[in-house]
Chain A
Amino acid sequence: MTTVTGTLRASLADAFANRGSFWFQVAVMVVNDGTWIVFWVLFFHQVGTLRGWGTQDVIVLFSMLMTSAGAALGLLANSRRIGHLAADGELDETLVLPVGPLSHILTSRIDPANMGDLLFGPVLFVVAGDPTPERAALFVLGAVTGSVVLVGFLVACGALTLFVGGRGEQADLGFNAILIFASYPLDLFGGATKVMLFTAVPAAFVTGLPAQLVRSFDPAHAALLVAMAGFFAALGWATFHLGLRHYSSGSIWTR
């Protein structure tokens, strides 16, 4: 067993220790996600289609978002807490271990509530996303690349705290911005906002482009998604490791 899978198994066991609480939080998140689906159903019921997007397209977009967000914020829950961990000096306990610090930090905490997203996203796609074999394969591809982009982006934002200080506000702002923009169809936006969604806040690679890929396959788009996943994985890794050179110990060993 590798260190990463061992840490992940320990985190899962920790989250599962109180099964009642775990499943309650999962259930609450599923209800939460259901509210968004109700919103979109009501919205399209009143408005009709929106620049070619209908209810089913948005359901695919949402199932993609839930799956990616579930992986990034549920399975790798510390991806959005790098800035807070750095600000509180809590990286110490990882830095003394003979393991790659980033992979250990990412796998050492699981958020049960967001695991609800990871469970509900694929189920929603199967139930309401017209899952032909081709669409299902593209859904998996989009969810995997979207998860990698999201984790890479959140780690890079959190690592900014190592350079500029603060209490992790950069990660909070990045987290809020990417989730908001990823929750809406890409075609709603134009001009500078659309450019931003492909660059500074890469929400387009988390949901917009993957959802378009499920609607109509385009090999160039698929290749672009894979390339961007690689780019954001490298960006997160490089920003974190460069930032570590600026890290000052908090003298906190355990908490």
Chain B
Amino acid sequence: MSPYLAGWRLGFLRTLRSPGDLSVRIGFFAAILLVMSALWGTAIDANGGELEGYTRSSLLWYVFAAQTAVLGVRPRSVEEIGDEIGGGTIAIQMLRPVSVVGLRMSIDLGEACARMAAAFVAGAALTWLFAGPPPSATALAMAAPAIVLAAAANIASSHAFGGVAFWLLDAKSTWFLYQKLVFLPGGMLIPLDILPRPLEVVSLLLPFATMAYAPGRIASGDTNPLLLVWQMGWLAALIVLAAGVFAAGQRRLQVLGG
């Protein structure tokens, strides 16, 4: 078995074997869906039943997919990567005859897939309850790969961001900033179509939109396959970027002691 596939499997099974953590995340997800249902339901009712083309139902399915993709990824992974680099434990990982960043991303994606599978089932059931059926079966079916692509892009981007610790030796609290890039220009808190036009254009040019907006847009009923192509393009670019940051960082890494 390829070491990366083994890493994915390890992450997936490890997450499934932590039912406490998984249930907390599902409970958190349910609370968010409840709040968002109330917020957007009220907002759309106050605007005559539609907001920039979104109905109450399509907007809640947007929220479901965007949240599933974002909550699947460990929020503090940027900080953890920074801690491992700053603390020198990354040097142990470099002894393995595999790519450090490749194996790390495989494990993180395995963990994310387990969380997202649970969140997808629970979240779809709750959203159906709050908002009725999805806009179409195709939208729901396309949302599943879009969510996985979104999480993969988020993980690759987190590694590129966290890899800065090779130079700064610390990524403390920077995860807050990274997370907010996914929240606002990424479209997790608010669909990009609802933002003022200049902000929408800038957000669509950034990779963060593929991490929440793209799966949300698909689940809301826009089944344009170019959305998936857009995600794949940014995913490839972010993987190259993360690999480049780690390769450059590993070349200059100096660890004292053992």
Contact = CB atoms under 8 A, between A and B. Distances in A.
Same complex for A and B? Answer yes
Interface of A: 21, 24-25, 28-29, 31-32, 35, 38-39, 42-43, 45-51, 113, 166-167, 169, 172-173, 176-177, 180-181, 183-184, 188-190, 193
Nearest to A167: B20
Prevailing SS type, chain B contact patch = helix
Prevailing SS type, chain A contact patch = helix
Given A32-B180, A35-B183, A189-B38, 17 more contacts: A21-B172, A28-B174, A29-B173, A32-B176, A32-B177, A35-B184, A39-B184, A39-B189, A45-B196, A47-B46, A47-B51, A48-B46, A48-B47, A173-B24, A177-B28, A184-B35, A188-B35
A113 B38 contact: no
Contacts of B184: 35, 38-39
Given A35-B184, A51-B42, A188-B39, A42 B195 contact: yes
B173 A177 contact: no
Q: Which 3 A-B pairs have the closest CB atoms?
A: A28-B173, A35-B180, A32-B176
A185 to B, nearest CB: 9
Contact of B43 (A25, A39, A50, A183): A50
Interface of B: 20-21, 23-24, 27-28, 31-32, 34-35, 38-39, 42-43, 46-47, 51-52, 170, 172-174, 176-177, 179-180, 183-184, 189-190, 194-196, 199
A78 B141 CA distance: 43
B20 A46 contact: no
A10 B203 CA distance: 45
B194 to A, nearest CB: 5
A29 B176 contact: yes
B31 A28 contact: no
B31 to A, nearest CB: 5
Contacts of A47: 43, 46-47, 51
Given A29-B173, A181-B31, A188 B190 contact: no
Contact of B176 (A28, A51, A166): A28
A183 B177 CA distance: 19
Nearest to A49: B46
Contacts of B35: 180-181, 183-184, 188
B60 to A, nearest CB: 14
B196 A42 contact: yes
Contacts of B176: 28-29, 31-32, 113
Contacts of A38: 184
Given A47-B43, A48-B47, A31 B24 contact: no
Contacts of B21: 167, 169
Contacts of B196: 42, 45
A169 B23 contact: yes
B236 to A, nearest CB: 28
Nearest to A176: B28
Nearest to B23: A169
Nearest to A39: B189
B42 A188 contact: yes
A37 to B, nearest CB: 11
Nearest to B41: A188
